[in-house]
Every structure is written in structure tokens, then in C-alpha cells.
């Protein structure tokens, strides 16, 4: 490949890269009956690990998760200090020992968002592009 072809290819790749949409960030969502707008890191980790089972004044916590994907991996790493496999094993162990009910798992963000919107006390996560007016967002704080 000559120098001209290499430069042309590099230019085309650069142009394509600028046209691709930037990846959106994962967002925590809740049912609108959950009064909280913010949640501290320790409490959020307790939710993901099944240790926090009730909201302050809004009934029980119902955790909804994505079965797989980059959004799930990012959330598990950031808020539970686990990868998806470790997270799933943690919940299997809890369920088998009677220590909790495994989170409701979904294949798509649309299904998860709909479940959270329709289920009092539900919390989950989706890509920010999937958030709509049917759910509330929850901001994690340090």
C-alpha cells in the first residue's frame, strides 16, 4: 500500500469515527414511588448485594438487572465491585441459602425500563439514551 492510500484510509477512518455516536453512560432508574433522588455509594452497594431490602417510606426494594452487556458490566463494577459472573454467582448463592430472591433479569433495556416503571420500589439501570418519563433517575453520590 502506497503512502497516498494509507493517508486516504486514515482520513476515511477518522471521518467515520467522528460520525459514530458517543457511547452514553449507564443511569440508575427507579419507579416513581421511590422518593429518593440521590443514593450514597454504600447504600447502593447494599441494594446490589441484597442487604438493603426496603426503601425509606416506599416499601421493598425490587432489583432489576440486565442479563449481560457493557452497561451491566459497568454498573456491577462501579457499584458492586464485581463483574457480571461474580454478581450472578453472589445472587445464586443467596437464593440457594434462603438469603434473598435473585434480581429480575432482562434481555433488553426496554423490558427492564417497563418493569421498573410498573413495579413499586423497583430499581434498575439502563443506558442514558433509554431513559424516558415513565421512570425516575437516581444519582449515586460518594
Could you tell me if residue 6 is inside a domain? Answer: no
Q: What is the pTM of this model?
A: 0.81
Report the pLDDT value the prediction gives residue 20, as an integer from 0 to 100: 40
pLDDT digits (tens, 9 = 90+) for 43-62: 999 999 999 999 987 699 99
Cα–Cα distance measured from residue 76 to residue 86, given in angstroms and rounded to the nearest whole number: 9
CB 121 within 8 A of CB 75: no
Cα–Cα distance measured from residue 120 to residue 38, given in angstroms and rounded to the nearest whole number: 17
pLDDT over 50 (residue 22): no
Cell triple for 8: 486516504
Could you tell me if residue 91 is inside a domain? Answer: yes
- CATH number of domain containing 70: 3.40.190.10
pLDDT digits (tens, 9 = 90+) for 50-103: 999 999 876 999 999 999 999 999 999 999 999 999 999 999 999 999 998 999
Report the pLDDT value the prediction gives residue 57, as an integer from 0 to 100: 78
Could you tell me if residue 122 is inside a domain? Answer: yes
- What is the tally of structural domains in the chain? 1
pLDDT over 60 (residue 8): no
Could you tell me if residue 127 is inside a domain? Answer: yes
SS (H, E, C) 59-108: CECEEEEECCCHHHHHHHHHHHCCCHHHHHHHHHHHHHCCCCCCCEEECC
pLDDT over 90 (residue 32): yes
Domain enclosing residue 115, as ranges: 23-138
E strand or H helix at 44: helix 41-48
Report the pLDDT value the prediction gives residue 16, as an integer from 0 to 100: 45
Could you tell me if residue 11 is inside a domain? Answer: no
The mean pLDDT of 29-51, rounded to a whole number, is 95
Could you tell me if residue 15 is inside a domain? Answer: no
pLDDT over 50 (residue 18): no
More confident residue, 25 or 118: 118
Could you tell me if residue 3 is inside a domain? Answer: no
Distances, alpha carbon 22 to alpha carbons 84, 105, 118, 127, in Å: 23, 26, 30, 12
Could you tell me if residue 42 is inside a domain? Answer: yes
Amino acid at each position: 500500500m502506497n503512502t497516498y492510500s494509507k493517508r486516504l484510509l486514515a482520513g476515511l477512518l477518522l471521518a467515520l469515527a467522528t460520525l459514530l455516536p458517543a457511547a452514553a453512560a449507564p443511569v440508575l432508574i427507579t419507579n416513581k414511588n421511590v422518593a429518593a433522588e440521590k443514593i450514597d455509594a454504600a447504600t447502593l452497594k447494599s441494594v446490589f448485594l441484597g442487604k438493603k431490602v426496603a426503601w425509606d417510606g416506599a416499601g421493598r426494594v425490587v432489583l432489576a438487572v440486565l442479563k449481560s452487556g457493557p452497561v451491566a458490566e459497568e454498573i456491577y463494577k462501579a457499584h458492586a465491585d464485581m463483574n457480571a459472573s461474580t454478581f450472578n454467582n453472589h445472587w445464586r448463592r443467596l437464593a440457594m441459602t434462603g438469603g434473598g430472591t435473585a434480581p429480575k433479569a432482562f434481555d433488553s433495556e426496554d423490558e427492564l425500563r417497563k418493569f421498573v416503571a410498573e413495579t413499586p420500589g423497583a430499581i434498575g439501570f439502563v443506558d442514558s439514551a433509554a431513559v424516558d418519563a415513565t421512570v425516575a433517575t437516581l444519582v449515586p453520590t460518594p
